[in-house]
Structure 1
């Protein structure tokens, strides 16, 4: 059934998060060559946080940020607003190269990052509608419930104590949030809701106040390593930015840079938001704690209750465009809007009497082994951070503080984390990666359907999907 839409329904337009504050007027573009200590390519969360922490650590540094559109145009202005303490990848894979203790240290650093971001927002006076209500993960059939219980049990080996993650009894589950068909739930306090565009705009303002030069409407066409006495460089149509370090923080847009089309796969994620919901709906649903909501499906969803009492609800739509193309204007296919609405109203039947008010999409960066990475090659002057696989709102801050320490030559607990300097093989050439990604999500959808029909155990189709893509 088609999703009912408000008369003012918007499809695309970057994202709903810009409806209230409005799209920012892009700042000046680069006008000629510039020489800096650090050049940052990309003004999303990673680039902005990196500029912020570098200037706070050493105000004398000349830091230049180059952005093709405006700060927060990409995933930083379109995501689900989950400031989460989850790892950006598999702890087992990080432990495989650096040991279990290093993976546990990484997890504890992620927990601390949630509070680090909230403290910085307070210190800088950035109003991003932040509420630390934790995260609720629900299961809606026996197979999902078994998987959720297994995840909680296995997490104990990776730094999650009882106070960090626990299963809820039915009474507490219903007291927090009433999801139709829920049979189990787990809760962690290590998550906060934010309004993504307000966070991006606030960070952009903070770095400018610190003296960072942010050049917008300045697409980088290539990044070159240092050669002999020649510094590393970021090339644009309007001039070249030279730096002792050039840091690539382009996440889902990385594939646009020459030679990097297969580095990280640009994975699409889509969202819808309801019109504001009245008090009687919230009385039926609950959600007074403003928890972030996810589920234990393979083709998973994510949601938040917004500051103006809407439900922002996301999931995978058209997951990948052939050739790593990026549809950067955010327009979402009608069938994706309808599918998200069907899932939303299935979880919250009381919402079915209301309408969708906005739909949008964005891309996130996925490395071949689904684990994020950060690093700096001193021989070339080139650094990077990204591949957050959908956990970037908080992880960008930890990556930025790690890049700060690497640039400044510091040997710290952050630079010792197991994602530092991590390299993985590239994605396969086309058509193999298109076939692999679309096969994976087709199998996940069918696995969810099997489990919903009452199989009681994780579908073999999901295991096959994991095997195909290394998820």
Structure 2
């Protein structure tokens, strides 16, 4: 194997390149007392910040506190791939089985609308997050991938993507972004590039300016449900917030209310970013439209062209890791860095010698049935949202608006979406959780190697991986984002968060 070219300024971890570029914000004061509010939000990522934003905008008289263990945007919100896309968070079939196909399509259309909601709100609030709505490009580089991509387009058009929302590209259209070996490509307009840390920090500043009290360096150790005699509460080492509603928005960094199991399993995803490419390289690659880019491999990658002319590329860890979100400040294993660099070299050989300047990782939350949920229990006063499995940049905005309506007691189109009130079984402690994902990811990578050399249709190794994962047809792969099996065209490109597209 060739060694990965590394910059003299290479860093591994340190949260993310996005914060290296922006600079880590000065931490706000911690909670140091027992206080009362109307609403307490636990978690200073996109979900918590959007919930606070929409609640305060809807009712400026609300007293809202937000508790964050580090600083706002420290977790997946400041580490993801910067995919603001309409990728579906969850299993369409499962939502349809529990509700209706129309309900699943309504959730898909709501995600499409949420892309523009984020863009418009950032513009209205003066948040400069390097947002460019260039759409999403999905590419296939061998016959097996081409078959899956064609099937994926047809599949999605049965589930809420009309032809103008996702379509195969003619060769002349595909030439604007030159990905080596492309034999088929598809495009959706419902996606934008974003600098994740700038969005998180900008949103936190806006929320604070609206009057929300942000307490940072305030790790919540316990969430107490209300019981009729006492209000629900969020407990930290040095203080307690009592409120009518306590909203849990920690996703891949979970805090469990007393007596509840772990409904979201943390899973890690990673990224690398290059030094800036030369003008000659960019003339060869194109990418003037700044589309977010994904491929149809089983061990998929997702990428963006940054505002300063770098390529940022990410994917699930190799081996794919699950387990407690013990944060190591974003450090990434050498094997994972090498896998991501090989993905970069495969798609853009001209950039293979450009040194890697930063690598990092982060945790996303995965539900056992791979379907995210949003809910508010009026008996206990507790609300929550999460389980986006890497599709969180857009889903978090939709969840924040939905939690606003639930807290305010408004029955709306958002509160009728099928992820509201959805409950998956809690994860159990079992050896398969540690060993299984590594085996499944290894099989997917083996399938990719076979397809790139001699197999002209989806490798049987991918089918074996799907069966080992216990997936039904059309379910996402590892982490909710990987392309699918012979049963399923894909979930191709469904990677928008932790270090994944979030």
1:325-336 alignment, distance < 5 Å:
325-336=325-336
Change (3 A) 1:255 1:58: closer
Cα pair 2:319 2:336 within 8 Å, conserved:
no
> In the aligned structure 2, how far is the partner of 1:43 from the partner of 1:387?
16
1:155 shift after superposition: 1.2
Match in the other structure for 1:440: 440
Deviation sequence 1:415-468 (CA, Å, 0-9, x none): 000000000112231312112222221221122122222322222322332233
Q: How many residues align?
A: 470
1:318 shift after superposition: 4.4
| 1:456 and 2:456 aligned | yes
Change (3 A) 1:266 1:423: same
1:320 shift after superposition: 5.3
Match in the other structure for 1:368: 368
1:400-419 alignment, distance < 5 Å:
400-419=400-419
> In the aligned structure 1, how far is the partner of 2:133 from the partner of 2:94?
29
1:365-404 alignment, distance < 5 Å:
365-404=365-404
Cα pair 1:67 1:216 within 8 Å, conserved:
yes
> In the aligned structure 2, how far is the partner of 1:374 from the partner of 1:156?
26
Change (3 A) 1:351 1:456: same
> In the aligned structure 2, how far is the partner of 1:34 from the partner of 1:63?
11
Cα pair 1:255 1:261 within 8 Å, conserved:
no
1:304 shift after superposition: 0.2
Match in the other structure for 2:235: 235
Deviation sequence 1:67-103 (CA, Å, 0-9, x none): 0000000000000000001111121121111101111
Match in the other structure for 1:307: 307
1:144-223 alignment, distance < 5 Å:
144-174=145-175, 176-223=176-223
Match in the other structure for 1:70: 71
Deviation sequence 1:144-176 (CA, Å, 0-9, x none): 1101100111112111111100001222112x2
**Aligned partner of residue 53 in structure 2, secondary structure:** helix
> In the aligned structure 2, how far is the partner of 1:394 from the partner of 1:441?
26
> In the aligned structure 2, how far is the partner of 1:162 from the partner of 1:454?
32
**Aligned partner of residue 147 in structure 1, secondary structure:** helix
| 1:466 and 2:466 aligned | yes
> In the aligned structure 1, how far is the partner of 2:381 from the partner of 2:107?
25
Change (3 A) 1:246 1:256: closer
TM-score, normalised to structure 1, is 0.97
Backbone CA RMSD of aligned residues: 1.5
| 1:292 and 2:288 aligned | no
Deviation sequence 1:204-262 (CA, Å, 0-9, x none): 00100000001000000011110122001111101111111111100111167776673
Cα pair 2:270 2:361 within 8 Å, conserved:
yes
Which runs of 5 or more residues in structure 1 are unaligned? none
Q: Select the structure that is richer in helix.
A: 1
Which runs of 5 or more residues in structure 2 are unaligned? 477-502
> In the aligned structure 2, how far is the partner of 1:449 from the partner of 1:357?
27
Cα pair 1:294 1:300 within 8 Å, conserved:
yes
Cα pair 1:304 1:311 within 8 Å, conserved:
yes
**Aligned partner of residue 395 in structure 1, secondary structure:** helix
Cα pair 2:223 2:256 within 8 Å, conserved:
no
1:323 shift after superposition: 4.3
**Aligned partner of residue 303 in structure 2, secondary structure:** strand
> In the aligned structure 2, how far is the partner of 1:454 from the partner of 1:61?
62
1:266-285 alignment, distance < 5 Å:
266-285=266-285
After TM superposition, which residue ranges in structure 1, 4 or more long, deviate above 4 angstroms?
Answer: 255-261, 318-323
> In the aligned structure 2, how far is the partner of 1:333 from the partner of 1:271?
11
1:182 shift after superposition: 1.2
1:38-57 alignment, distance < 5 Å:
38-57=39-58
